[in-house]
Structure 1
């Protein structure tokens, strides 16, 4: 019984750490957030925090997972359902409220292209799932007559993701000049009109 309480207590502390890290990363960005700062916010020493997450990169990867889960909870009517193109547009719109997290995501996704990056597996898996979900959404829209049948669903999925990521970079460079959610919506609307 005491072991179960310890386990539950450890899980609760882990969740507290992830919530604090998500807040700090989104506000300050990855480079300007220290493990010490996350530890202090959760009432731990740096060594105590490293008991739960052995590196800052591991903590970051789990924060990205947490961000995806939170976006899923906010934007998916049926949680756990595949991401649709409309859902992707909603998430990109929401990202404008979290510039620190967008900056973090953009920089870490670029760094994950290094074969030695601890976040590489996370991003490979994330992009693979997102492409699959979006391609399936495109196929459903084609079957319903909402999209041209001659469009390659896998190519459209990859292009939507590329547009979303590219728009986020442009928005970070010039936030006042770009409504990234609106621009992605225009692209998706244009694709739906071409049939």
Structure 2
């Protein structure tokens, strides 16, 4: 309930009263579990991250497999409009002074940049990508494309194919095709 309310109204326009009503609780009941509206927001964002981490299973993919995973994430996101909307709204709102999710998003972006940059360095070390690849710039570009596509998709879902576009842009940035999707049947 809180995720949907924050996603549709943003942090500043979402009320604890509405969230409590949708959850079948009183405001006091919500505050008993989260203490503050900012605490509830943090809990919602952590739940979103836990869902993404759970999908990774035993560990993060390495090298080009991580880039393939990002394409798969874009494909899954096309089936999770609420989560995509939550992320898009709150990440944009977080750039305003005093927003309670600002540090969360700073940390999230720093972590994403490092994960993508590490995968790119792994691919270079394995000989799958050319030495001299501007790893930090490519990592920033991949993240920017994914986030930008999410906003475009939310505004015009029929006009934007997030996974296909993500794959094509990643391949253009790294200069090689991504490995094929692993066969999950066996």
2:69 and 2:97 mapped to 1: Cα distance?
Answer: 30
Aligned to 2:25: 44
Q: Which runs of 5+ in 1 are unaligned?
A: 1-19
User: Is the CA contact 1:29–1:101 (under 8 Å) kept in the aligned structure 2?
Assistant: no
Q: CA deviation at 1:127?
A: 0.5
**Higher RCO, 1 vs 2 (CA within 8 Å, ≥6 residues apart):** 2
2:152 counterpart (162, 170, 173): 170
SS at match of 1:116: coil
User: Is the CA contact 1:25–1:100 (under 8 Å) kept in the aligned structure 2?
Assistant: no
1:29 aligns with 2:8: yes
SS at match of 2:118: helix
1:78 counterpart (58, 65, 69): 58
1:61 aligns with 2:38: no
Q: Deviations over 1:43-88 (max 9, x none)?
A: 43111211222333331222111111111212x1324x37832222
User: Is the CA contact 2:129–2:176 (under 8 Å) kept in the aligned structure 1?
Assistant: yes
Aligned to 1:15: none
Q: CA deviation at 1:172?
A: 1.2
Aligned to 1:16: none
Aligned residues: 171
1:154 aligns with 2:136: yes
Q: TM-score, normalised by structure 1?
A: 0.77
Q: CA deviation at 1:180?
A: 0.7
Aligned to 1:7: none
2:112 and 2:104 mapped to 1: Cα distance?
Answer: 12
2:106 counterpart (99, 124, 133): 124
Give the superposed CA RMSD. 2.4
Aligned to 1:13: none
Q: Which runs of 5+ in 2 are unaligned?
A: 178-186
Aligned to 1:9: none
Q: CA deviation at 1:112?
A: 0.7
1:89 aligns with 2:71: yes
Q: CA deviation at 1:188?
A: 1.9
